[in-house]
Every structure is written in C-alpha cells, then in structure tokens.
Amino acid sequence: MIRISVTDKEKLDPEAMKSFAARKMGIDPVLIVSATLKKLSLDARKKDDIRYVYGIDIEAANEEKILKKCRIKNATKVTQVVYKDPLTICPENGSDLGNKGDSIGRCGNSLIMRDGINRPVIVGFGPAGMICAYKLAAAGLKPIVLERGSDVDKRVSDVERFFETGKLFVNSNVQFGEGGAGTFSDGKLNTMIHDSFGRIAHVFDILVEFGADPSIRYINKPHIGTDRLTVIVKNIRERVISLGGEVRFNSIFTGFEHKDGRIGAAIVNGAERIPCDTIVLATGHSARDTVRMLLSEGVEMEKKPFAMGVRVEHPQELISRAMYGSDYRKYPPADYKLTYKTTDGRGVYSFCMCPGGVVVNASSQEGRLCVNGMSYSRRDEATANSAIVVEIRESDLDGDDILAGMKFQERLEEKAFEACDGKIPVCYVKDFLEGHESTDMDGRKPNTRGAFAPADLYAILPELITGPIKEALPSFDRTIKGFAGDEAIMLAVESRTSSPVRIVRDPETLCAKGFLGLYPCGEGAGYAGGITSAAVDGLKVYEAVIKRLCTNEA
Ligand SMILES: Cc1cc2nc3c(=O)[nH]c(=O)nc-3n(C[C@H](O)[C@H](O)[C@H](O)COP(=O)(O)OP(=O)(O)OC[C@H]3O[C@@H](n4cnc5c(N)ncnc54)[C@H](O)[C@@H]3O)c2cc1C
C-alpha cells in the first residue's frame, strides 16, 4: 500500500480519489487498483491559499516501480493495521481449557456459554460500556447492562424539561442515561491516544455499522452531533438485546460482593443481587456516589490531574472570519485550539470546542451547577463555544484525601448554583478582564440550553482559576481577534473535563487491584478522556474479559 498526502483548493468526493491521485502522482490511472481516502483536513494557515489536505492509500500493481517514478515526495509504503479480535485465541469447543473447558468454548465467531458460567455485568451504557457490551454480546456472552438513567427517548424529554424548567432528574440528565455523557454533545470523535492495534478504526466501523456517517473514517476531526448520537445509541442497544444481552434502565449499581479477591455478585438499586464473576465499571466522570461506594469497599484509587474553568462563547462568524479570513463562508464552521502557559508555568487551554453549538446546563446533582457544550450534526447555530480551563495540580488540593479533587469540583459547582439560584452564571469577558461582574446581559445574549443570569464570576471561582484565565485571555485575543472582545461571553463553571481520580488496575488483567473480575473502564475510572478513548478502553476491557475466560489465567 502506498500512502500519499496531497492538497487541493477544491473539496473532492472519496469516489474521485483514483483519478485525483493518478493526476497528482503523474501516473496512468489504470495502474491504480484502488485509492482510499484515509484523511481529509483543511489547512487554513495561509488565509489566501486555504487548501484541503488528502491522505490517500493506494493499492497498485507494481508499487515499487510506481514509488520510484511517482512525483509525490511524501509517498511512502505503509502496512494497514487491522483489528484482531481476541476471540480467535479461544480454543474450539474449550478443548484445552481444563475444567473450565466444560463451561466455555468457541464455535466460529462466538463463545458457547454452558451452565454455571455467569453473564458479565456492565455498569454504565456510555461509550465505554456500550462498546464493551456490544462486543461481549457479539461474542455470545449475553451481558447484563445496568444503566442508572433512562432510555434515550425518555432521557431527551427529561433533559429538555430540565432546560426549560430547571427541574433536574438526578439520574436522567446530560451526564446520566442511555448513551452516557457523550449523547448530549458535539460528538467530536478526535482523540490524542496512541493506537497501534487498529482499535480506533474498529470503534469507528462499529459506529458506522449503527448509523454514523462513513466520513468519520477519514475526516480529520470527525464529529457525529447529538441528533445522530441518539439514534446510534438506540441501534447498539437493540443489537445487544437481539444477541441475548439485556439493558436495564433506572438500575443503579450500588454495591458488589467479593470473596478471596474475586467478584461474586453485583447489587442493584440497593436490593437485587446478580451473581456474576465479571463486573465492568464504566460509570463515567460524574458518578460520585459510585466512586465513594467503591472507595468504602476498599477499591484502590489515586488522585489524577484534571482541569477546571469556564466556557466562553462567541459569534461563530467571528471565529470563522479569524480562522479563514474573508472567504470564511466557503468552509465549515471553524474550530480552534488555544494553549497558554502562565508566568508560573500553569497550563491554560481550550477544551471540547463546539463550532456552531450551544452551551448546556450539564448538571447532575441537586444544588450543584456545571456547564458544557453541545452541537447538532449540522453545527448550524450562530455561536461557537469552548471550555477555557486551568490545570489543577495535586499540590493545589488539600492533604492526602483521594477525593480532594472531586470535593473541589463539588464546592465550585455549589457556588455556581447558589450565585444565580440554579441559573447559569454568565459575564461579559470584557467585564471579567476589568475585574468586575456583568450587571446585565443587555448586549449579546448567550446561546444556552438552560436559563442564565448575570453574575460575578470572581465570587464563584478562586484566584487559582481566575488568575491564569485573566492572564491567558489577551494572548488568546492576539491569536483570534475579538476573542476577549465585546461579543465574548463567559459562563461558569466548567468542572467535568475528566475524572479527578483513577481506579488502580492491573495492567495485564485490567482488573482492579485485589479484585479479580472487577474491570474499571473508561473516563470515570481514569483511563480515558472523550468519546473515542472511552470506547477504545471499552474494547480493551472486552479483550481482557475474553482473554480471562478463554485462557487458564484465572
Ligand atoms: C455535554 C458534554 C459534551 C461532551 N462533548 C464531547 C465531545 O464532543 N467529544 C468527546 O470526545 N467527548 C465529549 N464529552 C465527554 C464524553 O462524553 C465522555 O468522555 C465519554 O462519554 C466518557 O464515556 P464513558 O463511557 O467512560 O462514561 P459516560 O459517558 O459518562 O457513561 C457512564 C454511564 O454510566 C452510568 N452510570 C454511572 N453510575 C452508575 C451506576 N452506579 N449504576 C449504573 N449506571 C451508572 C451513567 O448514567 C452513564 O450513562 C462531552 C461530555 C459532556 C457532558
């Protein structure tokens, strides 16, 4: 396979890659067997010469010869990495699995569960839990999914009602419910994780199989959008059920039984007992009650650095004009990535930027308020928003309390809630930089889902956060003209960027230390940040469960 990277002013269809690649390489198209668009991005560094960048994989008859005469300097030979499902390691019909072979075996692409083998329990139906549950169901293991929130249809109406009335459903909201935190989001799928096993591509294949646009496979910063995510989530659920799995809503995992370091059962809603020897904990970064329960059960955890701050909002036109120049209307709504280091070396950066999106009240606890961003697949709102967050270090938090970060989040969310009696506290960036509150929002109004009110953000956020943001804004304004101008609005508090704790897990078995069969997974466990990396961690845990079941390891 030959990979080339070429540019063009025009946006071309994936079907046009063969003739396009041949023209760019200066070879006869008949020599090309196939040309696959692998990466499409927009290079807007030169505003007067904005170009689409195409990464194309070419299969050709005589690749060595073509490489020699091809006029593209960056043309290279590549080997495609294909995801290898661990099921293949499971011996046919359990032949050499000793006594365990009696209860499990493989037949073709799925496992045969015989009497006595317990169904795995998956806690949480967010990206991590969904991918893990789907893969275990496809492997024939009939998983039982426990989701504390409602099914996505009910959840959508609960969230809409919360946005309109402020009445919060503590288990069915922007954080909790079918699809997890990612459902009411921009559904950005870009990730920084390193992947040499083809897991990301495999996750994207699954998302496409259940309804995502195939362009997520090659678009540089793919996104799905809330309107499409709700459909995809439902399709995955229905497939898990059709494969013999179960998805239980309004089912809170409240405890578990363990003996001699092995899992024995999961407890649901404080009452029901489900015998099992596998529990996948994919509960996300907002399941604070579950984290406290696990800690009280002796599950080892450690503090993890995280970030907190505000969300800022601008007219999308201002951002697109700054990023693309006067021709900005020709291109999709622009996004941005900003970073800054304060004089004392603390990082301030933009996070989860939502072009053509809205700011949402993303609260999940009574009396606590946090914000986040969301877009629909068309990204056609007139506003753009992003979190501007400050890194919070372990040394910023009190003493040795593992939950110090979580308590810090809770304190600021309480202040944000109290500041405007549950409405989203907002302030013009200009007023914030002048060191005072906005007394009214008579100028441009923020585009929020959930009520807002003018507030003094200095009364909510500590100097640890306001200081670095105040220092960074002028620099961001130099990068994006108007970033700290009259039209910029700040909304508080952005507190759920990632989990402030990590559940310690054995790197080999992926089980929690000292609890064989308990699999901390995804963002809540501290092993992911974002939809794609959470889904990939769900896949890793699926592999670990299969490996454990199919080998004599445990
Ligand atoms: C508004 C918003 C916008 C976002 N936008 C993006 C984006 O554009 N791109 C991106 O990559 N990331 C985005 N994120 C982050 C992303 O959603 C998360 O990183 C991702 O969803 C983490 O996946 P997860 O499966 O680990 O956990 P989650 O998605 O949080 O899912 C955990 C699930 O577990 C359930 N649960 C929790 N406790 C229990 C319990 N005790 N019993 C039973 N069920 C339980 C919850 O109800 C939830 O459904 C956004 C987040 C929010 C809130």
- CATH (domain of 509): 3.50.50.60
Cα maximum dimension of the chain: 74
Torsion sign, CA atoms 70, 75, 77, 81 = negative
357 falls within a domain: yes
Q: Are strands 104-107 and 347-354 parallel, antiparallel or unpaired?
A: unpaired
Question: 14: domain CATH number?
Answer: 3.30.70.2700
pLDDT score for 62: 85
pLDDT at 388: 98
Query: Ligand 1 test: best mutation among 154, 176, 237, most atoms within 8 Å of CB?
Result: 176
Residue 312 lies in a domain: yes
- Strand, helix or coil for residue 280: strand
Q: If the chain, 554 residues long, is cut into consecutive pieces of 10 residues, what is the mean pLDDT of each piece?
A: 94 93 92 95 95 95 87 90 83 54 57 67 98 96 97 97 97 98 89 94 98 96 92 98 98 97 97 97 98 98 96 98 96 97 97 96 98 94 98 89 97 98 97 92 89 97 98 98 96 97 97 98 97 98 92 59
What number of other Cβ atoms are within 10 A of residue 192's Cβ? Answer: 8
Does 109 fall in a domain? no
Q: Could you list the residue range(s) of the whole structural domain that residue 360 is in? A: 305-494
Taking the CB of residue 346, how many other CB atoms lie within 10 A of it?
18
| Residue 86, domain member (yes or no) | no
Buried b / exposed e across 399-412, counting CB within 10 Å, b at 16+?
Answer: eeebbbbbebbbeb
Locus of tokens 């497939």? 239
Q: Do 436 and 413 have their domain in common?
A: yes
Q: Report the predicted TM-score, pTM, of the whole model to 2 decimal places.
A: 0.95
Are residues 453 and 311 both part of a single domain? Answer: yes
Q: Final residue of a domain: which of 455, 478, 494?
A: 494
Looking at the structure of the chain, the number of domains it has is 3
Instruction: Give SS3 for 375.
Output: coil
Ligand 1 pocket, CB under 6 A: 123-129, 146-149, 174-177, 180-182, 184-188, 252-253, 282-284, 287, 290, 352, 360, 362, 372-374, 522-524, 528-532, 534
Residue 323 lies in a domain: yes
Give the distance (Å) from ligand 1 centre to CA of residue 534.
Answer: 9
